[in-house]
Structure 1
Amino acid sequence: MTDRELVAPDEMKHLVERFNYSPAVKVGNLLFAAGQLGRDANMKVIDSSLEDHIVAAWENVGKVLAAAGATYEDIVEMTTFHVDLQEQLPLFLEIKDRYIPRTAVPPAWTAIGITELTFPGQLVEIKVVALIP
């Protein structure tokens, strides 16, 4: 059996108890991160602008990666969920490029349009798999 390790940044540890949820699970040198949302540490949805919402989701991804010793450059696969995919995609692409550097082998990416996310007001969710160095 492969060992599994819970990965939770300090500000997300309350979610483990509250929702029986792992922000990420480390298996060997792979990190499977749950979808991260545009919210603050108190679960308040960032609703000032779509850009702020997307940035907050990416920042939460970064916190999970850092807790496992990884960075955005270590992402090998991502799945994104968008309440309004066609409307969000141009801005999402611009912001994604701030976090994920252009490399010879960018991560595999699937973007999915959906009708709603977990809590009202959430617009984007970012789920990643990373190879921990």
Structure 2
Amino acid sequence: MNAQNLKRQSINPPPTQVFYDNFHFSQATRVGDMIWVSGQVGIDAAMTPGKDMEEQAQLAFQALKSVLEAAGASLADVVELMTFHTDLRGDMPAFTQVKDHYFPDRYPSWTAVGISQLALPELRVEIRAIAVAGCGDA
């Protein structure tokens, strides 16, 4: 790899620029083919959390997909998921059903962690990921 391929890129799709400006973090960072995606939560365009785990998981996975696309990758390129749940045992069946819709095969590594709170009191799940651009095509 040459130095150009190792240049660090901040990925912030236009709808998420407010997070970069106000909270000083990128939605993703890409170096070469590696992409580290910050935690994505279940909020809609109006910053309103989904009403239940299923809706929040759908919104969070859609946000993950959008950030990956802005970084030049896709969900197929995800090699690791880490999810944070405020009700790990209670919400796992609904979450897993949504996750399996977005990852129907070639499952990435996955760690699920139970936590006491997220950034907003209504949030139930946060999803972060690591991807390798282009590896899903292989």
Cα offset, 1:18, TM superposition: 0.8
Structure-2 residue corresponding to 1:96: 99
CA distance in 2, matches of 1:91, 1:72: 20
Structure-2 residue corresponding to 1:24: 28
Q: Does 1:75 align with 2:78?
A: yes
SS at match of 1:122: coil
Backbone CA RMSD of aligned residues = 1.3
Q: Does 1:8 align with 2:9?
A: no
CA distance in 2, matches of 1:115, 1:50: 16
Identity percentage of aligned residues:
36
Q: Does 1:55 align with 2:52?
A: no
SS at match of 1:58: helix
Q: Is the 8 A contact 1:73 1:101 kept in 2?
A: no
Structure-2 residue corresponding to 1:128: 129
SS at match of 1:127: strand
CA distance in 1, matches of 2:57, 2:39: 13
The one-letter code of the counterpart of 2:91 is Q
CA distance in 2, matches of 1:34, 1:43: 17
CA distance in 1, matches of 2:85, 2:110: 13
* Runs of 4+ off more than 6 Å: none
Cα offset, 1:101, TM superposition: 2.7
Q: Is the 8 A contact 2:53 2:95 kept in 1?
A: no
Q: Does 1:43 align with 2:47?
A: yes
SS at match of 2:56: helix
Structure-1 residue corresponding to 2:113: 112
Cα offset, 1:40, TM superposition: 1.6
Q: Is the 8 A contact 2:42 2:56 kept in 1?
A: yes
Deviations 1:10-37 (A, max 9, x none): 1101211010010000011000000000
Give TM-score scaled by structure 2 length. Answer: 0.89
CA distance in 1, matches of 2:47, 2:8: 26
In structure 1, the gaps of 5 or more residues are none
Give TM-score scaled by structure 1 length. Answer: 0.92
